[in-house]
Structure 1
Amino acid sequence: MPAQDLLRLVVVPDRTRVAVVLKGEIDLSTGDIVRRELRELWESGWTEVVLDLREVTFMDTTAVHVLLDAREAATMVGSTFGVVTGTGPATRILALTGLDGLLPIVDPDAARYVP
């Protein structure tokens, strides 16, 4: 199955923040799609990027690396980077790996975008 069938990515810009809403799987076949999109947003000048993981149905270690890389890349360009996790697989993976203590978790009720 092509990677674009496994992951749907929607970019939702707001005044100062841009959200990347993911639906589907983040794994070896789709991780580079997420990396590429985040890189393009930072290269375009966005300084506040939120990755919405509430509709992610599967994450493997590739997703963990994508999130760590994104955290590092945001720091390098002087941007903020956070995630919205909800109650799905993303929350569990972040807790199991300790990423919930490294990545800012954005409260979905405080988010200014509508996914």
Structure 2
Amino acid sequence: MRAMASLRRRTAAALLAVGKLAPAARAGTAEVAISGFAFDPPTLTIRAGTAVTWTNRDEEPHTGSSTDGRIDSPALDGDDRFSLAFTEPGSYACFCRLHPHMTGRVIVTP
């Protein structure tokens, strides 16, 4: 019995290592509204694997961008959306390229 369980664990580990078996998803989606020339919430904490969707609720165009290029939406007109999955833990500062005073942060935990 132990030998069979050990074999299953080793097989699963080998499949994960070569990308044939994906680990179970632990995270879903999160929303950031762009409203009143601000990101709401201004700081969002999520788990790795979560997709964040920015939705522009203003009439003016906005972007979700970061200086390192990891976050790089096109200009979003009113009610346009942009989604990005965050797979690596870390802290990601974002801003609007068209209105640089608009800033936010996405914190990704393991």
Would you tell me which structure has more helix in proportion to its own residues? 1
Q: TM-score, length-normalised on structure 2?
A: 0.30
Would you tell me which structure has more strand in proportion to its own residues? 2
